[in-house]
Amino acid sequence: MKFVAIVGSLKKQSLNRKLAAYIQERYKEKADIEILPIEKLPFYSEDEELNPPSIVTDIKKKIADSDGIIIATPEYNHSIPGVLKNALDWFSRVDRVMVGKPVMIVGGSPGILGTVRAQVHLRQILNSPGISALVLPGNEVFVGGLHEKLDESGHLTHEPTSQFLDGVMDNFQKWVERTKGF
Ligand code: FNR
């Protein structure tokens, strides 16, 4: 399977980028996962959407060609970061490349709630008409205390979290098969 991943953080030492990279490496036998460079997208403007910069077209094509999308989101002020919302706004317009695409959401934070509130918002956003993604039901991956669960090389050392992720990834792959042709 071919997946793309979207990370809602520009921080070099982003915990969520490390989590996405860990997922990319851990499941490389099951899926080819490419992390998309959404940080290169300009701010969305309705004036630009019919003739956007090539980076917009390139990233949208990768989404359109993928079997599914993994989103790793931080929580900023009880919602998703603007950089992620900006990307989703681009993807929601013109060719609407996320319509009918399976999506798996993960997120982590140093705090105990592990992005719960951001993910609740994200599910609502992904259900909007322009996006209409097929978000994997249940399978909520909220990793609290993520900074203590990653080692120097970005490896997730907390075995219960890794095992939980294994189950979620299996469920996501089944979800991708089940929703094909929707
Ligand atoms: C945060 N952080 C945060 N954490 C949280 O649990 N709830 C929140 O509402 C917020 N709000 C928030 C706003 C802003 C502007 C920043 C910079 C940070 C802390 C956040 O969880 C922490 O910085 C994470 O490490 C961010 O994820 P990445 O960038 O490491 O992936």
Residue 162 has pLDDT above 90, yes or no: yes
Return the CATH superfamily for domain 2-179.
Flavodoxin domain (3.40.50.360)
Q: b vs e for 6-20, b when ≥16 Cβ sit within 10 Å of the residue's Cβ?
A: bbbbeeeebbbbbbb
- Helix, strand, or coil (residue 26): helix
The pLDDT score that the predictor gives to residue 142 is 98
Give the residue-averaged pLDDT of 145-172: 97
Question: Is 15 touching ligand 1 by the criterion CB < 6 Å?
Answer: yes
Cα torsion through 51, 39, 92, 70, rounded to 10: 140
Contact of 162 with 26, CB cutoff 8 Å: yes
* Percent of the chain whose pLDDT exceeds 70: 100
Domain ranges of the chain: 2-179
Where are any strands of DSSP class E within 96-169?
A: 102-108, 134-135, 141-143
Determine the atom of ligand 1 nearest the C-alpha atom of 72.
Answer: 31
Contact of 78 with 43, CB cutoff 8 Å: no
Best residue for ligand 1 mutational test, from 11, 109, 117 (most atoms within 8 Å of Cβ):
109
- 78 alpha carbon – ligand 1 mean position (Å): 9
Q: Kindly report the average pLDDT of the chain as a whole number.
A: 98
Give the residue-averaged pLDDT of 149-178: 97
- pLDDT category at 141 given cuts 50, 70, 90 is very high
Residue 24 has pLDDT above 90, yes or no: yes
The pLDDT score that the predictor gives to residue 104 is 98
Task: Please give the Cα distance from 19 to 106 (Å, whole number).
Answer: 8
Q: Report helix angle 15-26 to 159-179, nearest 10.
A: 70
- pLDDT category at 30 given cuts 50, 70, 90 is very high
CA contacts within 13 A on the Cβ side of 162: 13
Residue 182 has pLDDT above 90, yes or no: no
The first and second tokens of residue 27, run together, are 């499941």
Question: Is 113 touching ligand 1 by the criterion CB < 6 Å?
Answer: yes
Element (H, E) at 71: strand 68-72
- pLDDT category at 68 given cuts 50, 70, 90 is very high
Which amino acid residue places its CA nearest to atom 16 of ligand 1? 76
Contact of 36 with 169, CB cutoff 8 Å: no
The pLDDT tens digits of the residues spanning 72-107 come to 999 999 999 999 999 999 999 999 999 999 999 999
